[in-house]
Chains A and B, each alone.
Chain A
Amino acid sequence: MRLQIPLAITFLIGLFMAVQFFVPHEVFQYSFESLLAWVRIVGAFALVLGIGSLLRTHWDKIRRRRRDWPYSIVTIVSFLAMCVIGIGFGHEPGTVFYWVFENIQVPLDATMFSLLAFFIASAAFRTFRARSTEATLLLVAAVVVMLGRVPSALIVSFGDTAVGHYLHANMPDVSEWIMNFPTVAGKRGIIFGVALGAIATALRVILGIERSHLGGGGGGGQ
């Protein structure tokens, strides 16, 4: 029963959500709205479970003195401190919570992301090679799109010349063409593939073939 009941619920709800899309009757509409509220409530519980998992994982790491365990202390202390500050003193603008967010989390987060620029530049220098026809096409397209994104770089490169101004005026159009046609063609194929995969996975879940979401590992397949 522990398996059959969740599978039956999944099947019925999945079927209902697919059918209700095509039936504008008020009963279906009301049920749909109720289900959406349930999803939000379940989502809130998932957040609590996630927090529990985070704390349990890091506590276990500290207890067993695993590699880099002191960072886990920082994680737990930071988490608890923000909880106390936020729940105890509010999180509106002007509060301590807001100050910590603006002056600690925002700069830290932005710094981590900014480091990417350095690594991308280094990686581009070391690995972006025209080793084959495909790689050459990719490289040329990348350079054109990059220049199209920053056309003023062409003025810097060619100076205040006719060539510089011509490229400055037209490179964004070439870049936009690459984005609008070759890129969209490739991307649309990927989107179709992903969508078909998502439909297949959804059907497997609704029909009870895929059961990994019920826990206990592995999908179905029988």
Chain B
Amino acid sequence: MMKPSRAFAILTDGLWTSNVTLAQMLALCPLMAVTGSATNGLGMGLATTVCLVATNVVISLVRGLITPQVRIPAFILVIAGIVTVADLAINAWGHELYKVLGLFIPLIVTNCVILGRAEAFASRNGPAASALDGLGMGLGFTFALTLIGCIREILGSGTLFANASLMLGPAFAGLETVVIPEYKGFLLMILPPGGFLVLAFVLVAKRQIDGLLARRRGVAAATARS
């Protein structure tokens, strides 16, 4: 069994400390492509999370079988298989989501985060820890995508979570809000350059918060010593 402290460490690592985009700066291609609106970011993040958990578990289960020489092609094979199954499933049973994300779901295969976690974590840890790592990393990615999507959507279109009910089901209709009525739109924010700009500001914010936390911890350690 896993110690709760270890599980907590794995989760916070994925959600914040080694956040896929905000700390590791990976998976920027899907980030730029889908974060024009918060809903798209959320949908892509959740789809990636599901794929990430599944690939991590499968690779962790077969890690004893795979030899170091062929591990990369074998990982790619497993990832491609799982993502294709997810692609078919979303097309069949989540068609509204598929119409928005259709182009990007097959691209999850090439998302370096998935291969990265397979190589760095799942091939060295048990299935439970790997599932947790996939969940943490996936949710961290979802958090980053949704945050950047929110900022870009508010600045670019003046709305928040527009079309959420169309994509995620009628239960999410309450999320749809018009933040700035009669807004003319700010095209730059919807286009990829806006993604880079917003990402830069979010990165600065994360560094600031991390610096603040480290300083507070330093002060606490100093007072404990004296």
Asked whether A and B interact, the reply is no
Chain A residues within CB distance 8 Å of chain B: none
